[in-house]
Structure 1
Amino acid sequence: MLVIDNYDSFTYNLVQYLETLGASCDVRLNDRISVEEVLAHEARGVLLSPGPGTPDDAGVTLDVIAQVGGKKPLFGVCLGH
């Protein structure tokens, strides 16, 4: 599982849960990976972590949703209000 970390402290809780279930996780910060790298990544799915701030702070996340959706399974987690 490729995990896009949107600078949220809960990201590694999610990673720990996934790894407990047997998943292998590769965590990348939302401003340290490109859409091309996401598409080329060997992971079978992409988890989009929650994140603080606004969509302007989302890094590559919005582009991943637009360009990767339909090509790889996407799972977004929101823990906001």
Structure 2
Amino acid sequence: MTAASDSNDPQVPIVCPECETTSRVPLAEVADLIERHNEQLHGGGDVAAVDPDIADRIADLAAADLGLLEESE
């Protein structure tokens, strides 16, 4: 995977367990870079992805922001 290093975008960690690689890519390019990596190196399979710990944390933050984690009274 390649990453632009001169961007002001937040950097998102991407992992590919099959290639045994980890890189950080600009947030705005995450989807395209993952798709391109998986298409070129893994026949389109969902191998490379956002680091699972980061993806889980983002999901938790989104759920909290949407009020999905609040207990009903």
Q: Is this a same-fold pair by TM over 0.5?
A: no
Larger Rg computed on CA atoms = 2
Q: Which has the higher helix share?
A: 2
Which one scores higher on RCO, CA 8 angstroms, separation ≥ 6?
1
